[in-house]
Structure 1
Amino acid sequence: MTATVTAAIDEYLDSVESGNSAAVARSALREWANWLAAKRDVTALDDVAVIDCRRYARHLKRRTRDDDLKASTANTYYAYVRAFLGFCEADELIERNPAAVSRAQSQLPEDPGDADRQFWSEHDRNAILRFMDRRVERALDGETDVSRERAYRDRALVRLLALSGVRGAEVFRDPADDRRDGVTWEDVDVDGGAIRVFGKSREYEYAQLPQRAAEALERYRTVAEPPTPEFPVFPTDHAPSKYSAAREQLGEQGYDDHRVEQILDANPIDEVVQEYEVVVPAISTRGARGLMERLCDQAGLDIDGEYLKPHGARRGLGHQLYSEGHAELAQSALRHASISTTHESYSNIRASETAERVDDVLDE
């Protein structure tokens, strides 16, 4: 009987020593198995081909471009798959390891390290936050063509990124990952200062929600009046997606196709969403990056020819906390599993501090 991918993974994991590495491997391999089934329609182990591994490598590369993964992490995830399939080859479950073939591995992202990866400096963070406040004031005074709701939404989005340490893929929709559909209002706990996100660990976690971010979210919620707690905090602006969601959910509510079209023809889509409690999709990670690019352009912010990217906010927050001597706070804010991860992420700061101390000693 042909072994399934998931059964073989379980057997492989039983052979791996327990610990944090095994836990990460388990998460990565199960995510890969789900991707194989959903995107490649492959569930049997001996059906896994070189082209599937090549496509998976390309999928990982795409996630690095979307700032969902570091290049180093993408290569690590692929290495787990390669090691697993190597185990299967050694156990004679498959004839060869398709992940070890060069044309599959050639699609992996290059790992240049973190030296050139963007982070929001304190100056740039404050500049974009001030701009968002002014934008809300101008919308309230009718001095811009941006609606009041949009201005409040965008300010809440920027404050959440800038101050909470969340990853973009944790709060926005990732079209390549069915489980990442964006945070909803029921995930937001303003009083508790926390927001529930689907973390990098592929488990739900609570990220810290500082007062300024919580305040922006609460004011935005008051203006937006989401029709249901399941509504995304940052809904898409894509009209076809709204109409598609409305047609599907109105049908589920018992309206026939003719009546659905009557409703949609007679009312603006946003009114239909509100009145019939339609849950539209969240803005995508790509859409959020496009929004940040437009906002930086409007604010006159240019960061070495780039805009403030969503994941750079997380790095910037950690950088400031760590550089000011709050390593444990940085670990907590960024939800690193161990302080060693935090130290590794900001090793450049430690090296700089060490250099200064060495200089002091040598100059004595």
Structure 2
Amino acid sequence: MDSGNSRATTHSRARNRGGKTVEDAVDRYLTHKLESGGSRSSMEPPLRFFEAFCTSEGIERVDELESGDCREFGLRLADRKRNGEIAGSTANTYFAYVRAFLSFCVRDELINSNPADTESAEEFLPEDTSTRETQFWTAEQRKQLLAYADERVEQARREVIDTPLERAYRDRTAVVLLAELGVRGAELFRDKNDDDRNGLQWGDVDLERGRITVFGKSRDHEPVGLTEAAHNALSRLQRVQEPPIDEWPVFPTGHAASKYAAVEKATGERPEPGSDIDAICWEKEVAPPSITKEAGRQILKRLTNEAGIELEGDQEYLQPHGARRALGAELYESGHSELAQSALRHKSIETTHEAYSDIKAEDVAKSIDEVRE
């Protein structure tokens, strides 16, 4: 803990009789008071993430929070940024929302001072990099990655690589959906820190109507239309997997122990070691877990490396969010800002304009040149 900091929190146990839990305080804040110009839909995910962080650190009550805890939370956000889960700007926004929440707790007389409002607490927050520094897949990188994912399926079919055919189809489908639809990794894959994000399931896929339904950033279920390439990829994967139930994940894990655990939880009996666990899951209609967001990133890392894709600067691989940003940029640069808004499911056109302010600035400069010619 950051006990050496002179601004560290002084607990207010006298006023916070019994100690209000972090969960109760977050619920009260989201219900009665929102700050930082945020809406409930935008502020709830980061505050729930903070709530989960507190649980993982053994912090149950608000009056147990200290500046060092908020400093550790900033480090957790920095780790997520380093892993490509969120941008530096998002990490800073999350921390600002938590700071606003804790200021509310001060006014609610749950704590005496705000443990997030210290220089020490903010020390590990990542730099808020500008939009132009955010990775996005170039057209050539996208084509190269998709071509290699197709080639890998053929290699698995001919059994010239040590990858099951179903897994090759699974990985290709993940790449296609990211490249074609601008979906987020958290909308396709399981999030170990969010019980509501179990990964895309076949019950969420409607091939007849040409759409999938994802659990969006707003924490609402949102429809996403399928392009021809996305529709074809899902159709082929479905024929290979033959999912027996709607709850079957589109991107099932290949981790055998997780499948054994799923069967044991569903049936009360653990299969014998060495059993054909995939066949058991299918026969007993026990859905295996979806791959996690981390596993999704590992797939992209492996495919990026195996495909020999050239990257700029210190980039290690083509990140999931880079595909989303690339789609938006392509539409925005073509003059279809409203289409970009719809494709990315932004709540307002202002959000889209802000996300691609660098492109807008370049367009303004070009227009000035054209007027002066």
TM surpasses 0.5: yes
Partner of 2:368: 358
SS in 1 for 2:222: strand
1:22 paired residue among 39, 57, 68: 39
Q: Shift in Å at residue 341 of structure 1? A: 0.7
Q: Are residue 172 (structure 1) and residue 189 (structure 2) matched?
A: yes
Q: Shift in Å at residue 171 of structure 1? A: 0.9
Q: Are residue 276 (structure 1) and residue 284 (structure 2) matched?
A: yes
CA, structure 1 residues 228+21, in 2 after alignment: closer, same or farther (shift >3 Å)? Answer: same
CA, structure 1 residues 92+138, in 2 after alignment: closer, same or farther (shift >3 Å)? Answer: closer
Paired residue total: 354
CA, structure 1 residues 32+219, in 2 after alignment: closer, same or farther (shift >3 Å)? Answer: closer
Structure with a larger share of its residues in helix: 1
Q: CA RMSD in A?
A: 2.5
Partner of 2:339: 329
CA distance in 2, matches of 1:306, 1:10: 39
Partner of 1:312: 322
Q: Which sits farther off after the overlay, 140-149 or 235-244?
A: 140-149
- Is contact 1:172–1:181 with CA below 8 Å preserved after alignment? yes
Give the alignment's TM-score, normalised by structure 2.
0.86
CA distance in 2, matches of 1:19, 1:34: 18
SS in 1 for 2:332: helix
1:175-201 Cα distance to aligned partner (Å, 9 max, x none): 232322211111111222222222112
Within a 5 Å distance, the mapping from 1:205-216 to structure 2 comes to 205-216=222-233
- Is contact 1:168–1:310 with CA below 8 Å preserved after alignment? yes
CA, structure 1 residues 313+105, in 2 after alignment: closer, same or farther (shift >3 Å)? Answer: same
CA, structure 1 residues 154+14, in 2 after alignment: closer, same or farther (shift >3 Å)? Answer: closer
Within a 5 Å distance, the mapping from 1:257-296 to structure 2 comes to 260=270, 263-265=271-273, 267-296=275-304
Q: Shift in Å at residue 336 of structure 1? A: 0.5
Give the alignment's TM-score, normalised by structure 1.
0.88
CA distance in 2, matches of 1:146, 1:179: 30
- Is contact 1:88–1:94 with CA below 8 Å preserved after alignment? yes
Q: Shift in Å at residue 316 of structure 1? A: 0.8
CA distance in 2, matches of 1:87, 1:186: 41
Structure 2: 5+ residue stretches without partners: 1-16
Partner of 1:228: 245
Partner of 2:12: none
CA distance in 2, matches of 1:143, 1:224: 21
SS in 1 for 2:191: coil
CA distance in 1, matches of 2:302, 2:326: 20
Partner of 2:219: 202
CA distance in 1, matches of 2:89, 2:362: 23
Structure 1: 5+ residue stretches without partners: none
CA distance in 1, matches of 2:245, 2:31: 43
Q: Which sits farther off after the overlay, 332-341 or 24-33?
A: 24-33
CA, structure 1 residues 142+136, in 2 after alignment: closer, same or farther (shift >3 Å)? Answer: same
CA distance in 2, matches of 1:148, 1:17: 49
Percent identity between matched residues is 45
CA distance in 1, matches of 2:82, 2:279: 36
SS in 2 for 1:125: helix
- Is contact 1:16–1:22 with CA below 8 Å preserved after alignment? no
Partner of 1:118: 135
Q: Shift in Å at residue 335 of structure 1? A: 0.5
Within a 5 Å distance, the mapping from 1:1-364 to structure 2 comes to 1=17, 2-9=19-26, 12=29, 16=33, 21-24=38-41, 26-28=43-45, 30-32=47-49, 34-36=51-53, 38-251=55-268, 255=269, 260=270, 263-265=271-273, 267-304=275-312, 306-362=316-372, 364=373
Q: Which sits farther off after the overlay, 28-37 or 148-157?
A: 28-37
- Is contact 2:75–2:124 with CA below 8 Å preserved after alignment? yes
- Is contact 1:64–1:71 with CA below 8 Å preserved after alignment? yes
